[in-house]
Chains A and B, each alone.
Chain A
Amino acid sequence: MTVADGPSWNPITDLQQMWSFPFMVNAFRAGTIVAVLAAAIGHFMVLRRQSFAGHTLSLIGFPGAAGAVLIGVAAGYGYFAFCLAGAAVIALLPRIGHGGYSEESAVTGTVQAFALACGFLFVALYRGFLNSVNALLFGSFLGITTAQVTVLGIVAVVALSILAVIGRPLAFASIDPEVALARNVPVRALSIAFLLLLGAATAEVSQITGTLLVFALLVMPAATAQAVTTAPMRALALAIMIGLIVTWLGLSLAYYTPFPVGFFVTSLAFAGYLGSQLIRHTRRGRTTADLSASGIVP
């Protein structure tokens, strides 16, 4: 979908060119909001090892979005409704949402398949714009309205404010639940609150990357940052930075090429993750070498 001539390779000129189209301005606004929220929530999701819950929520969002399109509502509202409701259900189930998710994988897998099937049915019933199933599954940056950006912004501000208040006890409860409980931290309530925040973040990310590629913004920036640094605030800031860079670059590349935005965002995030693992392993190798040179380890 090349709208314009190729890039001039001057970032300012290119941005000016892209931003002369209102839909690109909205795409950048929405992408920015989503990248920040996803990286912050993703930081805690990686810390809590709840990637599987995030994946489940994204798939639950798909029939929501498809259903919304079917009844003539913006897909975004469908994502929010289904992801938040799904998060509430997972939170109320005794064990799935609270760490030990390995045993319930069969149940969750069943629900995921059913969610995808429902979504597919709704798309088929709609019979409309055939491209929409691709957009719902793999993302699109076309046709984001200013109203949608406002909704994304409000949800993100509310979610980030809640996260700022509960972040520290949430980290405590995630890393060391038994001790946190002994210090009167409401571990269970925090777990429920976090799943709802994760639902909101998943719904937002789905609107840029599609249902199947949410991890590009939800997991990869946070996992990349935590591989590079172990200082919590630095990891959080780095995750947000990575999220912003891959989103902006992904949008620009999708604008200038015929390939979809989901592909670029995911590939860039993946490249970052590979790079961080490389850094981590060479660094660890060096540390061990230093220590053995000084006689600390054999």
Chain B
Amino acid sequence: MNARSLNPDVDTQLRQVTEPPTDQQPVITLRHGSVDRGNRRLWSGLDLTIAAGEFVAVLGPNGVGKSTLLQVILGALPLAEGRVQVLGQSPGRANKRIGYLPQRRSFDPSLRVRGRDIVRLGLDGHRWGLPLPSWLPGGAPRRSAAARVEEVIDLVGASGYAERPVGELSGGEQQRLLIAQALAPAPDLLLLDEPLDSLDLPNQAAVATLIARITRTQRVAVLMVLHDANPVLPHLDTVVYLAPGGSLIGPPRQVISSAALTDLFGTPIEVLTAADGRLVVVGHPHRCDAHDERHSGRRP
């Protein structure tokens, strides 16, 4: 289950909880996956199964390959070793059924494009040919496309500002519209790269709750890269913790624990629970570049 051997009873416990009650094929099946960036091995021996509607967070220090995992799932980067299936196909083949939210910069303030048009691009922006007006013959699908755009804008609560140029909107407003864009084609899987980054605290909580609600109501599996799990902690099914030396997968409270993280990183790490239920990780290495250099000598 993870490259680094854990305390055996924790391992068994995790394995039992991770196996999802599958009534259909998993959304992502990654078997013994390894990936290289340049000639540096980022992670190896990663096994991951994500079921329909599962809410998964990918955590770990900077530079450990969290975003790279999303690139592998999108088929933009091949695995060095191992095998991955996304929605029953090889990666890249099923991208029409994946909603992707890259790690963002915000839009240029001078970009004169409405929020609504940004969302619409997510629905049919990849199609060739002119978008015809809906009053022309055969306009029914185009009307339903416009209705779908309204629906997702409404779902993320962006109706109030969808008509305004996207560059003039706040970071939180832009992020909601981008989530709507990712949701527009009714995907089975959402890949979100630091969706709460650059948002203020109230907006972090609001967007986290929004994503959790969507996961539940739309039955979309979510794989979300984060550097702080707290805003989504109550909603998470599974945590994937990537570390320079290995990885750990399981329910949030078991993975984010003193014993499991100390074992994963090989240095003493303490996880404290604050009065409000938030987890505070003490001794957590925030960057792993230095570690990587140390580890790379050990690897073949």
Q: A-side interface residues toward B, CB under 8 Å?
A: 47, 49, 164-169, 171-172, 175-176, 178-185, 226-227, 230-233, 235
Contact of B113 among A49, A179, A183, A232 (CB under 8 A): A232
Would you call B114 and A231 a contact (CB within 8 A)?
yes
Given A169-B128, A230-B112, does the pair A182, B165 have CB atoms closer than 8 Å? no
Can you list 10 A-B pairs, Cβ within 8 angstroms, ordered by A? A49-B108, A165-B128, A166-B128, A168-B129, A168-B131, A169-B125, A176-B118, A179-B182, A184-B126, A232-B117
Question: Distance (Å) between the CB of B176 and the closest chain A CB?
Answer: 15
Contact of A230 among B76, B100, B165 (CB under 8 A): B165
Main secondary structure of the interface of A (DSSP, over half): helix
Residues of A within 8 A of B126 (CB): 169, 172, 180, 183-185
* B27 contacts chain A at the CB level, 8 A cutoff: no
Would you call B125 and A185 a contact (CB within 8 A)?
yes
Would you call B95 and A171 a contact (CB within 8 A)?
no
Residues of B within 8 A of A181 (CB): 76
Residues of A within 8 A of B129 (CB): 164-165, 168
Instruction: Tell me, in angstroms, the Cα distance from A168 to B122 when the chains sit together.
Output: 11
Residues of B in contact, count (CB < 8 Å): 33
* B298 contacts chain A at the CB level, 8 A cutoff: no
Instruction: Tell me, in angstroms, the Cα distance from A127 to B76 when the chains sit together.
Output: 57
Instruction: Tell me, in angstroms, the Cα distance from A183 to B184 when the chains sit together.
Output: 13
Q: A49-B108, A232-B113 are in contact. List 8 more A-B contacts (CB 8 A).
A: A164-B130, A167-B130, A178-B100, A179-B101, A179-B121, A179-B182, A182-B74, A184-B96
Would you call B130 and A171 a contact (CB within 8 A)?
no
Would you call A172 and B128 a contact (CB within 8 A)?
no
10 nearest CB pairs, A to B: A172-B125, A178-B102, A182-B100, A226-B112, A183-B126, A172-B121, A230-B114, A185-B126, A164-B130, A230-B165
Residues of B within 8 A of A178 (CB): 100, 102
Instruction: Tell me, in angstroms, the Cα distance from A233 to B134 when the chains sit together.
Output: 13
Q: For chain B residues 182-230, which have a beta carbon within 8 Å of chain A?
A: 182
Most buried by B among A176, A181, A231: A176
Question: Distance (Å) between the CB of A245 and the closest chain B CB?
Answer: 21
Residues of A within 8 A of B118 (CB): 175-176
Most buried by B among A49, A165, A166, A171: A171
Contact of B121 among A175, A226, A231 (CB under 8 A): A175
Given A179-B181, A182-B74, A184-B95, does the pair A171, B125 have CB atoms closer than 8 Å? yes
Residues of A within 8 A of B128 (CB): 165-166, 168-169
